[in-house]
Protein backbone atom coordinates (compact mmCIF):
# COMPACT_ATOMS: atom_id res chain seq x y z
CA UNK A 1 0.00 0.00 0.00
CA UNK A 2 1.39 3.39 -1.00
CA UNK A 3 1.50 6.09 1.70
CA UNK A 4 -0.65 9.17 1.32
CA UNK A 5 0.69 12.44 -0.02
CA UNK A 6 0.20 13.95 3.44
CA UNK A 7 2.24 11.22 5.09
CA UNK A 8 5.09 11.62 2.59
CA UNK A 9 4.99 15.39 3.14
CA UNK A 10 5.21 14.89 6.92
CA UNK A 11 8.14 12.48 6.53
CA UNK A 12 9.88 15.00 4.27
CA UNK A 13 9.41 17.81 6.81
CA UNK A 14 10.82 15.67 9.64
CA UNK A 15 13.75 14.50 7.48
CA UNK A 16 14.40 18.13 6.52
CA UNK A 17 14.56 19.23 10.16
CA UNK A 18 16.74 16.35 11.30
CA UNK A 19 19.07 16.74 8.32
CA UNK A 20 19.48 20.46 8.92
CA UNK A 21 20.31 19.91 12.57
CA UNK A 22 22.81 17.16 11.66
CA UNK A 23 24.84 19.27 9.26
CA UNK A 24 24.92 22.33 11.54
CA UNK A 25 26.18 20.23 14.46
CA UNK A 26 28.67 18.35 12.22
CA UNK A 27 30.13 21.61 10.93
CA UNK A 28 30.68 22.60 14.58
CA UNK A 29 32.23 19.18 15.28
CA UNK A 30 29.58 18.43 17.90
CA UNK A 31 29.22 14.68 18.34
CA UNK A 32 25.49 15.05 18.97
CA UNK A 33 25.21 15.53 15.18
CA UNK A 34 25.08 11.77 14.75
CA UNK A 35 21.69 11.46 16.52
CA UNK A 36 19.66 13.67 14.15
CA UNK A 37 21.84 12.27 11.37
CA UNK A 38 20.52 8.77 12.02
CA UNK A 39 16.91 9.93 12.38
CA UNK A 40 17.03 12.05 9.22
CA UNK A 41 18.67 9.24 7.25
CA UNK A 42 16.00 6.73 8.24
CA UNK A 43 13.22 9.13 7.26
CA UNK A 44 14.83 10.13 3.96
CA UNK A 45 15.41 6.45 3.16
CA UNK A 46 11.67 5.81 3.35
CA UNK A 47 10.95 8.90 1.26
CA UNK A 48 13.53 8.06 -1.42
CA UNK A 49 12.16 4.53 -1.73
CA UNK A 50 8.72 5.89 -2.58
CA UNK A 51 10.15 8.47 -5.01
CA UNK A 52 12.01 6.06 -7.30
CA UNK A 53 15.55 6.58 -5.98
CA UNK A 54 16.61 3.10 -4.81
CA UNK A 55 20.29 3.92 -4.43
CA UNK A 56 19.51 6.95 -2.28
CA UNK A 57 17.19 4.81 -0.18
CA UNK A 58 19.88 2.18 0.35
CA UNK A 59 22.41 4.90 1.08
CA UNK A 60 20.31 6.07 4.00
CA UNK A 61 20.63 2.64 5.64
CA UNK A 62 24.40 3.09 5.41
CA UNK A 63 24.06 6.57 6.94
CA UNK A 64 22.26 5.13 9.94
CA UNK A 65 25.15 2.70 10.45
CA UNK A 66 27.74 5.44 9.89
CA UNK A 67 25.92 7.55 12.48
CA UNK A 68 26.59 4.81 15.04
CA UNK A 69 30.22 4.57 13.91
CA UNK A 70 30.63 8.36 13.91
CA UNK A 71 29.13 8.65 17.39
CA UNK A 72 31.48 5.96 18.73
CA UNK A 73 34.54 7.40 16.98
CA UNK A 74 33.89 10.99 18.05
CA UNK A 75 32.96 9.88 21.59
CA UNK A 76 36.19 7.90 21.90
CA UNK A 77 38.18 10.91 20.68
CA UNK A 78 36.37 13.12 23.23
CA UNK A 79 37.65 10.77 25.96
CA UNK A 80 41.14 10.31 24.52
CA UNK A 81 41.69 13.85 23.28
CA UNK A 82 40.16 15.63 20.34
CA UNK A 83 40.11 13.81 17.00
CA UNK A 84 42.33 16.07 14.91
CA UNK A 85 41.25 17.33 11.52
CA UNK A 86 43.61 15.97 8.89
CA UNK A 87 43.85 15.53 5.13
CA UNK A 88 44.06 12.53 2.88
CA UNK A 89 46.64 12.12 0.10
CA UNK A 90 45.83 13.36 -3.42
CA UNK A 91 46.77 9.94 -4.73
CA UNK A 92 44.22 8.36 -2.41
CA UNK A 93 41.56 10.77 -3.65
CA UNK A 94 42.35 10.08 -7.31
CA UNK A 95 42.21 6.33 -6.80
CA UNK A 96 38.98 6.58 -4.80
CA UNK A 97 37.35 8.84 -7.42
CA UNK A 98 38.33 6.52 -10.28
CA UNK A 99 37.02 3.46 -8.43
CA UNK A 100 33.79 5.18 -7.35
CA UNK A 101 33.10 6.46 -10.86
CA UNK A 102 33.61 2.97 -12.30
CA UNK A 103 31.33 1.38 -9.70
CA UNK A 104 28.74 4.11 -10.35
CA UNK A 105 28.62 3.37 -14.07
CA UNK A 106 28.23 -0.36 -13.40
CA UNK A 107 25.49 0.24 -10.85
CA UNK A 108 23.71 2.67 -13.18
CA UNK A 109 23.67 0.07 -15.96
CA UNK A 110 22.19 -2.49 -13.60
CA UNK A 111 19.58 -0.03 -12.28
CA UNK A 112 18.56 0.97 -15.81
CA UNK A 113 18.13 -2.67 -16.83
CA UNK A 114 16.57 -4.11 -13.68
CA UNK A 115 14.63 -1.34 -11.94
CA UNK A 116 12.49 1.66 -12.66
CA UNK A 117 15.03 4.04 -11.17
CA UNK A 118 14.35 7.60 -12.25
CA UNK A 119 17.97 8.76 -12.66
CA UNK A 120 20.24 5.70 -12.54
CA UNK A 121 23.57 7.44 -13.18
CA UNK A 122 23.05 10.44 -10.91
CA UNK A 123 21.53 8.20 -8.24
CA UNK A 124 24.57 5.91 -8.42
CA UNK A 125 27.20 8.67 -8.51
CA UNK A 126 25.72 10.56 -5.58
CA UNK A 127 25.28 7.37 -3.60
CA UNK A 128 28.78 5.97 -4.01
CA UNK A 129 30.49 9.31 -3.50
CA UNK A 130 28.29 9.98 -0.45
CA UNK A 131 29.43 6.69 1.07
CA UNK A 132 33.02 7.79 0.69
CA UNK A 133 32.40 11.35 1.92
CA UNK A 134 30.60 10.07 5.02
CA UNK A 135 33.59 7.88 5.84
CA UNK A 136 35.80 10.97 5.47
CA UNK A 137 33.57 12.89 7.92
CA UNK A 138 33.76 10.10 10.50
CA UNK A 139 37.56 10.11 10.13
CA UNK A 140 37.66 13.96 10.40
CA UNK A 141 39.24 14.45 6.96
CA UNK A 142 39.04 18.04 5.74
CA UNK A 143 38.28 17.15 2.13
CA UNK A 144 34.91 15.63 3.04
CA UNK A 145 33.41 19.13 2.69
CA UNK A 146 34.59 19.50 -0.92
CA UNK A 147 32.88 16.24 -1.84
CA UNK A 148 29.72 17.34 -0.04
CA UNK A 149 29.56 20.66 -1.90
CA UNK A 150 29.54 18.79 -5.21
CA UNK A 151 27.30 15.90 -4.12
CA UNK A 152 24.76 18.18 -2.48
CA UNK A 153 24.66 20.40 -5.56
CA UNK A 154 23.72 17.39 -7.69
CA UNK A 155 21.19 16.24 -5.10
CA UNK A 156 19.45 19.64 -5.23
CA UNK A 157 18.63 18.88 -8.87
CA UNK A 158 17.80 15.23 -8.28
CA UNK A 159 15.39 15.90 -5.42
CA UNK A 160 13.77 18.83 -7.22
CA UNK A 161 12.97 16.83 -10.36
CA UNK A 162 11.65 13.95 -8.22
CA UNK A 163 9.18 16.31 -6.52
CA UNK A 164 10.96 16.38 -3.17
CA UNK A 165 11.13 20.17 -2.95
CA UNK A 166 11.92 20.40 0.77
CA UNK A 167 14.74 17.91 0.38
CA UNK A 168 16.06 19.95 -2.58
CA UNK A 169 15.99 23.01 -0.33
CA UNK A 170 17.78 21.06 2.41
CA UNK A 171 20.52 20.01 0.01
CA UNK A 172 20.88 23.62 -1.17
CA UNK A 173 21.33 24.56 2.48
CA UNK A 174 23.87 21.73 2.82
CA UNK A 175 25.99 23.29 0.05
CA UNK A 176 26.39 26.48 2.08
CA UNK A 177 26.96 24.64 5.36
CA UNK A 178 29.56 22.42 3.66
CA UNK A 179 31.41 25.51 2.45
CA UNK A 180 31.32 26.93 6.00
CA UNK A 181 32.35 23.53 7.38
CA UNK A 182 35.37 23.47 5.09
CA UNK A 183 36.47 26.93 6.23
CA UNK A 184 35.91 26.08 9.91
CA UNK A 185 37.69 22.73 9.76
CA UNK A 186 40.61 24.20 7.80
CA UNK A 187 40.98 26.91 10.45
CA UNK A 188 40.89 24.23 13.15
CA UNK A 189 43.53 22.19 11.32
CA UNK A 190 45.78 25.27 11.07
CA UNK A 191 45.36 25.90 14.82
CA UNK A 192 46.33 22.28 15.52
CA UNK A 193 49.63 22.90 13.74
CA UNK A 194 50.48 25.84 16.03
CA UNK A 195 52.42 24.68 19.11
CA UNK A 196 50.60 25.37 22.38
The residue among 26 and 81 whose pLDDT is bigger is 26
pLDDT of residue 159: 87
Measure CA 96 to chain center.
Answer: 16
pLDDT, tens digit (0-9, with 9 covering 90-100), for 86-126: 899 999 999 999 999 999 999 999 988 887 777 889 989 99
pLDDT of 193 higher than 80: no
Q: How many residues does the chain have?
A: 196
Q: What is the mean pLDDT of the chain?
A: 87
pLDDT of 22 higher than 80: yes
Give counts: helices (H), strands (E), the chain: 7, 0
pLDDT, tens digit (0-9, with 9 covering 90-100), for 125-183: 998 999 899 889 878 899 999 999 999 999 999 889 988 888 898 889 889 989 998 99
pLDDT, tens digit (0-9, with 9 covering 90-100), for 25-40: 887 878 898 899 999 9
165 Cβ neighbours under 8 A, 6+ residues apart: 159
CB-based burial, 137-165: b 16+ in 10 Å, e otherwise: bbebbbbbbebbbebbbbbbebbeebebe
pLDDT of 66 higher than 90: no
The model scores a pTM over 0.85: no
pLDDT of 23 higher than 90: no
pLDDT of residue 49: 84
The residue among 81 and 73 whose pLDDT is bigger is 73
pLDDT of residue 80: 63
pLDDT of residue 145: 94
Amino acid sequence: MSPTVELLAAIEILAFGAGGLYVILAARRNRLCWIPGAVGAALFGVLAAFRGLPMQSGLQVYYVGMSVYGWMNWSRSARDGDLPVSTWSWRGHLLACAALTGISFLTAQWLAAETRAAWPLLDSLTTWFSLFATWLVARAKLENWIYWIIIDGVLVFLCYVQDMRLMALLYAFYVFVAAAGFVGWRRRMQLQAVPA
